[in-house]
Structure 1
Amino acid sequence: MWSKGKLVSVDAQGGVALPIPFSAKVDHKLAAPVRFKHPVAKADEVRSKMLRWPSVSPKGDQIVFEALGRLWLQPVSGGAARAITDGSRRPIAPRWSDDGERLVYATWHDVEQGDVRVMTVATGAEERLTKAPAQYLAPAFSHDGTQITWLKGSGAPLRGHSTASELWFRLELREADGTVRDLGTIDGSGGANRGQPVTFTPDDQRLYKLTDEPTGAPNSAPKTTLVSIDLYGRDERVVARWERAAEVVVSPKGDAVAFVEGHKVYTAPLPLTGGQAIELNPKGGAFPVAAKSESAGDWLSWTTTDGPRWAMGPKLFGGAAPINLDARLPRAKGQGKVAYVNARVLTMGAAGVIERGTIVVDGERIVSVGTSPPPPGVTVVDLGGKTVMPGLIDVHAHLHYGVSDAQPQRSWAHEINLAYGVTTVFDPSAHNDTVFATSERIDAGLELGPRVFSTGYILYGAKSKDRSDIQNLDDARMHLARMKAMGATGVKSYQQPARAQRQWVLAAATEEGLNVYPEGGGDLWQDLTMIVDGHTDIEHSLPNAPLYDDVIGLYAASGASYTPTLLVAYGGVSGENYYFQTEDLLNDPKFTRFTPAEWVDRNLRRRTLVINDEDWFHREVSKAAGELAAAGVKVNLGGHGQVQGIGPHWELWALAEGLGNEAALRAATINGAWTLGFEDDLGSVEVGKLADLIVIDGDPLADIRASVRITEVIKGGVRYDGETLKRVESTK
């Protein structure tokens, strides 16, 4: 039998185990890991790739879209886009009137809540249509321009929940005289879905809406169903069904429909069938379906004088030629020259530890590190012997679900992470609309938080509306291209069941210059194929611990890195419960300052588990990670978003149990930068790199738990107080 990495024979009578010596010649062909560098903060402007709701005016002269927290108009013929809102409120789902003279859209404000507005395009004059503050989504004009529909949320934000937590939406219709009629309930949109507009039939006598229709079959996803209702919310009639369409838009004449299924755009006729629903399937059926997009498509629109349009990243398709949409704002960065003196510098680079060091920052980058006195004319900040180290890099930070079309103006999760010294996060599974838009707004200084990078939404292999169906290399190319267009620096293959499918993703990633971060999934044998096949990193822990020379040697030879996410370690009781059991967050003033009371009450007032010390499996996983690190594998810190802010430090402390303090600090800084392809700009205190630093009142090399004693956070040369995150001004 097998035991502790060896073969043994066991006496059937006495139970004595004797080792059986053996050796095996193993010959594996290892593919080089896919790994590309990505520059960080090189441009002076933030040019948006996540443009939402682009739509051509019925006049055919200009395009409206949302980006960087504003509405923009851009000429169809070319030229620069101009912002038509000021950014004081989040604009949502702009939609043209049929004459092209007006726009209706919703807005969101974190304090004042939301409303619905109509703008006269020629003058910019606005009229607010709603009185009650709430979350409003998906407004739409009637064809004659006298009526407007919208969705009104149940009040989740007022109950302390996110905008994605609405229990339902009420469908409301505003009459020409300003009265508002309630037409009934529509299910909540969910964290990864958009508000679907309820639109008018060509004669303005009925409304189209989308619903999910259960099939009745076990383990089957509901069908997407287009229904019509009368103007009082009654007399529901099914018009068409799809297996899993993600977006549906009916043509203004009502004779055709465009839809997105499998991330591609299709059109089909919408014939009068006497009340009988039609089934539309891109793979064939009774009604013809035509492919419109050569590659992926998103954000469908269809106005009166224009055919169907769709976007992929910053390009709008559907016309004679793609249109590049160009919304940009200056990138936020530090100003002036500052010398930080009398610091103990943990460089995480070749210089090691510098006692009584000086770091000179010019703008947002480091220009000098050493023991020389500061140059003349700079602002000097005496750190009094405190430790300075690179900002933490969380390679597996989930922050970007639980948000609807109404994206918040401030994110407590981003702010608390920055306050705890996490200056860069990488989210390997996120809502595309949220994560890439948030990243851009933070880069432009419109929100406060770490640098945000992501794979975007996973390349999901299971059946769903968001499935990435990969049956060949061309399918993989399409999915990699669409993620890159939105701003992804890597992708995450997730539950792609066949090894060949994962290999196609790797091949397409090599062509696109993207890294690949697969879901480990708690399956050792699948993990080993991922290591052998050349994945950049393995996300989540190998479920087996301890590990032995066979796995350790293979992993080390492969060149792949490892993010074990000890707080959610597979194979046993996870690390987060250890820290929930042993740490007193409920009485931590810094943690509770940033964390919503609802989260605190739900997670901290009742301890979830009581576990004996010998049963904490994350310690075994950490020890195995330490053995991998000693063999040459780059191990990274990934907090998994279990507890925002303090969670990455818990992960750091757990890593230190197996790796030791210095190696754990490298896992939290330079290793993560290397795995993400950011090592030229982040991860160490070296000349030319971004000034992302944390100041610690203590020595984490000696006491790893000193990592939370942060007095100051510096991101891109901008200084923040470590307790309150208030900006600290440098004065001479």
Structure 2
Amino acid sequence: MTVATSPIRRALALPALLLACAAAHAAGAPAPRITAVKAAHMLDVRSGATLDQAVVLIDGERITAAGSKLAIPAGATVIDLGDKTLLPGLIDMHTHLTGNPEDTGYAAVAISVPRAALTGARNARRTLEAGFTSVRNVGAEGYADVALRDAINAGDLPGPRIAASGPALGISGGHCDDTMHAPEYKISAEGVADGVDEVLKRTRQVIKYGADVIKICATGGVLSFGDDPRASQYTIEEMRAIVAEAHRLGRKVAAHAHGGDGIRLAVLAGVDSIEHGSYIDDEGIKLMKEHKTWLVPTLYLGDWLIENAEAIRLPKPLLEKAKTVLPMARVNIGRAIQQGVAVAFGTDSAVYPHGLNGREFAVYVKLGMTPLQAIRSATVNASQLMGWADKVGSIEAGKLADLIAVDGDPLKDVRQLENVRWVMKGGVVAK
């Protein structure tokens, strides 16, 4: 049984589609496989052109044709979206589905892995309904994101396609370590590994237990105690060992890196993406362009976190770091965008509530992207970084039928993507 034909997926479809299938069955005819989605407009994210009187033909979970005024086969189920604009399903390359904003700091100590997995089930649905049909989840203890991915793939619950990392890898006492416990508890995070031999073993271990991508911490972070976001953590030798093994085993590597030196070392080690990049400098920009390393900014959180710090009881040391780092990130990443660093869309959702992912677009535009460039960052660019360019990221024949619809023209107002009205994943309506 595939996700596209599971009972839960069918239950998510539009009532009209269910009634049409039921009527056909009652008449003794097989339910039609072809679905035609009609809308007033459709954005071709590759060319940037907006097509009018759009029709997308879908057979099962895949698109067979897409264009303007296409003939609709007899017997097809028609979904007419009226004056809406169709786009490909969006892709978020930096999520933490198993966490929430209020889990920051010492509150996280009391959260078990099973509870985090159940939290992830709720957040996966919210993310899908926000129009994000694919995500890369970069960091979850206990492989909770792997379990969530597998449950969604089995059709047990609604959610986006997930590329999961499992536990993030980091040094003892670093950003990816749990630095909140007193030393007598002797507790370290699951992904802690030091030295070349140990990081090599840990890389193989997370892949063994289901990781699609390897997440490492190359520098300190904002929401961790006792470290500096500007300071590098893993050595280049350690990172090279991780990258070489991950690539040999068919996985990409995402590096949490705020500081300039950590960015430089991670790029030279061969990572596929730099996450955050808050203190990226001219040398880092130059190296990323030379090595074709993707930048995954996470910027809207700077607004939400500082405004809501008191409500989520963010510890004072973490708030002070946030007030220093996050405004600088916009300045530096704005310069990287203007100088042509390749950008893939990411949010760090969990630092702020899941479902608000679309608010990231307006920040990119404010920093110098056109609306089309911002949309491409979450479609064709993100699919390329994910390694899924053959199946998602555009509305084309052969791709999975992951579609969204919005009011108005997102090329004129990118904030339309904050209010996605309709979502289809794999040929089945999810919203």
TM over 0.5: yes
Closer, same or farther: CA 508–661 of 1 in aligned 2, 3 Å: same
Closer, same or farther: CA 355–426 of 1 in aligned 2, 3 Å: same
| Higher radius of gyration, 1 or 2 | 1
Match of 1:531 among 233, 255, 267: 267
Which residue is equivalent to 2:23?
none
Give the whole-Å Cα distance in 2 for the aligned partners of 1:556 and 1:398.
27
Give the whole-Å Cα distance in 2 for the aligned partners of 1:476 and 1:335.
52
Q: CA deviation at 1:510?
A: 2.2
Please tell me whether the aligned partners of residues 142 and 190 of structure 2 are also in contact (alpha carbons under 8 angstroms).
no
Which residue is equivalent to 2:250?
513
Which residue is equivalent to 2:93?
395
Deviations 1:252-282 (A, max 9, x none): xxxxxxxxxxxxxxxxxxxxxxxxxxxxxxx
Q: CA deviation at 1:577?
A: 4.6
1:635 matched to 2:344? The reply is: yes
Give the whole-Å Cα distance in 1 for the aligned partners of 2:152 and 2:49.
31
Q: CA deviation at 1:690?
A: 1.0
Closer, same or farther: CA 577–538 of 1 in aligned 2, 3 Å: same
1:364-383 equivalent positions in 2, closer than 5 A: 364-371=61-68, 372-383=70-81
Please tell me whether the aligned partners of residues 279 and 329 of structure 2 are also in contact (alpha carbons under 8 angstroms).
no
Where structure 1 has 5 or more consecutive residues not aligned to the other structure, the ranges are: 1-42, 47-333, 569-573, 582-598, 722-732
Please tell me whether the aligned partners of residues 170 and 192 of structure 2 are also in contact (alpha carbons under 8 angstroms).
yes
Deviations 1:157-188 (A, max 9, x none): xxxxxxxxxxxxxxxxxxxxxxxxxxxxxxxx
Please tell me whether the aligned partners of residues 409 and 447 of structure 1 are also in contact (alpha carbons under 8 angstroms).
no
Amino acid aligned to 1:480: T
Which residue is equivalent to 1:454?
164
Q: CA deviation at 1:443?
A: 1.1
Give the whole-Å Cα distance in 1 for the aligned partners of 2:310 and 2:133.
23
Deviations 1:103-162 (A, max 9, x none): xxxxxxxxxxxxxxxxxxxxxxxxxxxxxxxxxxxxxxxxxxxxxxxxxxxxxxxxxxxx
1:626 matched to 2:337? The reply is: yes
Amino acid aligned to 2:85: T
1:295-694 equivalent positions in 2, closer than 5 A: 336-350=33-47, 352-371=49-68, 372-401=70-99, 402-405=111-114, 407-408=117-118, 411-462=121-172, 464=188, 466-472=190-196, 475-495=198-218, 497-520=234-257, 522-544=258-280, 548=282, 550-568=283-301, 574-577=302-305, 580=307, 602=312, 616-628=327-339, 631=340, 633-658=342-367, 659-694=369-404
Give the whole-Å Cα distance in 1 for the aligned partners of 2:284 and 2:298.
19
Give the whole-Å Cα distance in 2 for the aligned partners of 1:616 and 1:480.
33
Give the whole-Å Cα distance in 1 for the aligned partners of 2:52 and 2:348.
30
Amino acid aligned to 1:355: D
Give the whole-Å Cα distance in 2 for the aligned partners of 1:697 and 1:538.
33
Deviations 1:540-596 (A, max 9, x none): 12314xx54x4433321111100011135xxxxx23357x58xxxxxxxxxxxxxxx
Amino acid aligned to 1:518: A
Please tell me whether the aligned partners of residues 88 and 403 of structure 2 are also in contact (alpha carbons under 8 angstroms).
yes
Please tell me whether the aligned partners of residues 39 and 85 of structure 2 are also in contact (alpha carbons under 8 angstroms).
no
* TM-score (norm: length of structure 2): 0.74
Please tell me whether the aligned partners of residues 170 and 234 of structure 2 are also in contact (alpha carbons under 8 angstroms).
no
Please tell me whether the aligned partners of residues 480 and 508 of structure 1 are also in contact (alpha carbons under 8 angstroms).
yes
Give the whole-Å Cα distance in 2 for the aligned partners of 1:368 and 1:486.
38
Q: Secondary structure at the match of 2:95?
A: coil
Please tell me whether the aligned partners of residues 365 and 690 of structure 1 are also in contact (alpha carbons under 8 angstroms).
yes
Which residue is equivalent to 2:19?
none
Q: Secondary structure at the match of 1:566?
A: coil
Q: Secondary structure at the match of 2:74?
A: coil
Where structure 2 has 5 or more consecutive residues not aligned to the other structure, the ranges are: 5-30, 100-110, 174-187, 219-232, 314-318
Closer, same or farther: CA 364–664 of 1 in aligned 2, 3 Å: same
Which residue is equivalent to 2:177?
none
Please tell me whether the aligned partners of residues 567 and 640 of structure 1 are also in contact (alpha carbons under 8 angstroms).
no
Deviations 1:284-315 (A, max 9, x none): xxxxxxxxxxxxxxxxxxxxxxxxxxxxxxxx
Please tell me whether the aligned partners of residues 655 and 664 of structure 1 are also in contact (alpha carbons under 8 angstroms).
yes
Q: CA deviation at 1:405?
A: 3.2
Please tell me whether the aligned partners of residues 575 and 654 of structure 1 are also in contact (alpha carbons under 8 angstroms).
no
Q: Secondary structure at the match of 2:430?
A: strand
Give the whole-Å Cα distance in 2 for the aligned partners of 1:600 and 1:448.
32
Give the whole-Å Cα distance in 2 for the aligned partners of 1:671 and 1:624.
19
Greater mean deviation of Cα atoms: 444-453 or 457-466: 457-466
Closer, same or farther: CA 647–639 of 1 in aligned 2, 3 Å: farther
Give the whole-Å Cα distance in 1 for the aligned partners of 2:409 and 2:93.
23
Closer, same or farther: CA 405–386 of 1 in aligned 2, 3 Å: closer
Q: Secondary structure at the match of 1:361?
A: strand
RMSD across aligned positions (CA): 3.2
Q: Secondary structure at the match of 2:113?
A: coil
Q: CA deviation at 1:410?
A: 7.9
Q: CA deviation at 1:638?
A: 2.7
Give the whole-Å Cα distance in 2 for the aligned partners of 1:645 and 1:686.
28
* TM-score (norm: length of structure 1): 0.45
Amino acid aligned to 1:576: W
Closer, same or farther: CA 467–410 of 1 in aligned 2, 3 Å: closer
**Higher relative contact order (Cα pairs below 8 Å, separated by 6+ residues):** 2
Closer, same or farther: CA 576–560 of 1 in aligned 2, 3 Å: same
1:221-240 equivalent positions in 2, closer than 5 A: none
Closer, same or farther: CA 365–644 of 1 in aligned 2, 3 Å: farther
Which residue is equivalent to 2:16?
none
Alignment length (residue pairs): 356
Closer, same or farther: CA 478–666 of 1 in aligned 2, 3 Å: same
Give the whole-Å Cα distance in 2 for the aligned partners of 1:564 and 1:340.
33
Closer, same or farther: CA 531–412 of 1 in aligned 2, 3 Å: same
Give the whole-Å Cα distance in 1 for the aligned partners of 2:406 and 2:329.
27
Q: CA deviation at 1:44?
A: 4.7
Please tell me whether the aligned partners of residues 39 and 54 of structure 2 are also in contact (alpha carbons under 8 angstroms).
yes
Which residue is equivalent to 1:98?
none
